[in-house]
Amino acid sequence: MSERKYTASEMAVAAAARQIVDNKVYFVGVGLPMMATALAQQLYAPHITLIYEGGSIQPTISTKYMPFSPNDARVCFKSAMLSSSMDVLSLMQRGHIDYGFIAGAQIDQYGNVNTSFIGDYRKPKIRLPGSGGANDIASLSKVMILTKHEKRRFVEKVDFLTSPGNVDEKGREQRGLIFGKPTKIITNLAEMEYSSTDKKVTLKALHFGVTLKDVLDNMSFKPNIPPSLGKTEPPRKEELEFLRKIDPDERWVEHPH
């Protein structure tokens, strides 16, 4: 157990990195997923293949400077191939991607994600960036969501379904989505997965120092709660050192102050 101070966002990224499986192919989204895959590549899964929407295939993420986006030239460092967005998305459509990382402004009880707008379609309160490659990732790969745990983010029903989770209680297969599936949601408070029966978000583990009340107070719906919950190990010394080295300006992950 680490005795060093750490932030909730460092906890989330460390927890996500430990879930990454070596020798698999990961399609990486912007932000925290980039941090988690970089950490995993450095410490736990040196043989993962990272693919970015901008077209970079199998790069080695620099341990000096974290890329700012999937289109940053730094994601091309030591790449096996530099391609295009169309080409890397076609790899997913052909079944060559094992896992995809995405985030979301809204996530509902079935794991559906909204990154399009908040409010009414005709007069939205907030316009968001849209899908990018997230719909392809959610539709065609095993999806891991990495995001901040907030009540405004975890809603009973998304205002717009940008990227599908289980869709509803009938499951995504009824909508013809037979290749991928939602697998995990990792936040700064907890780890969650999905029920195979009612298709809803199910709490799996609480991060160290987090209570069940903390989790439920920051959700607009109540997830399935099993009889016993696991506890996530705090960030380790080497995890914290790496995250603070590659993101000194705290663009993605907050550090203790």
Q: What's the distance, CA 144 to chain centroid?
A: 5
pLDDT, tens only, 18-56: 999 999 999 987 778 889 999 999 999 999 999 988 889
Quick one: pLDDT at residue 28?
87
Report how far residue 222's alpha carbon sits from residue 216's, in angstroms, rounded to the nearest whole number.
7
Distance set, CA 171 to CA 47, 114, 163, 166, 180 (Å):
33, 18, 14, 5, 12
Distance set, CA 57 to CA 25, 27, 67, 139 (Å):
10, 9, 15, 20
CATH class given for the domain over 8-246: alpha beta
Confidence of residue 106 (pLDDT cuts 50, 70, 90): very high
> Does the reported pTM lie above 0.95?
no
Domain parsing of the chain, residue ranges: 8-246
Report how far residue 188's alpha carbon sits from residue 206's, in angstroms, rounded to the nearest whole number.
9
Judging by DSSP bridges, how do beta strands 201-207 and 142-146 pair with one another?
unpaired
| pLDDT cut 70: percent of the chain above it | 97
Mean pLDDT value across residues 77-105: 88
Quick one: pLDDT at residue 2?
42
Please give the sequence-ordered ranges of beta strands (E in DSSP) within 61-177, or none if there are none: 81-82, 99-102, 106-107, 113-114, 117-119, 124-127, 142-146
Give rounded-to-5 percent helix, strand, coil for the chain.
25, 20, 55
* Active site residue ranges: 53
Give yes or no for residue 4 having a pLDDT over 70: no
pLDDT, tens only, 188-206: 999 999 999 999 999 999 9
Amino acid at 239: E
131 burial level (CB within 10 Å; 0-12, 13-18, 19+): middle
Report how far residue 101's alpha carbon sits from residue 52's, in angstroms, rounded to the nearest whole number.
11
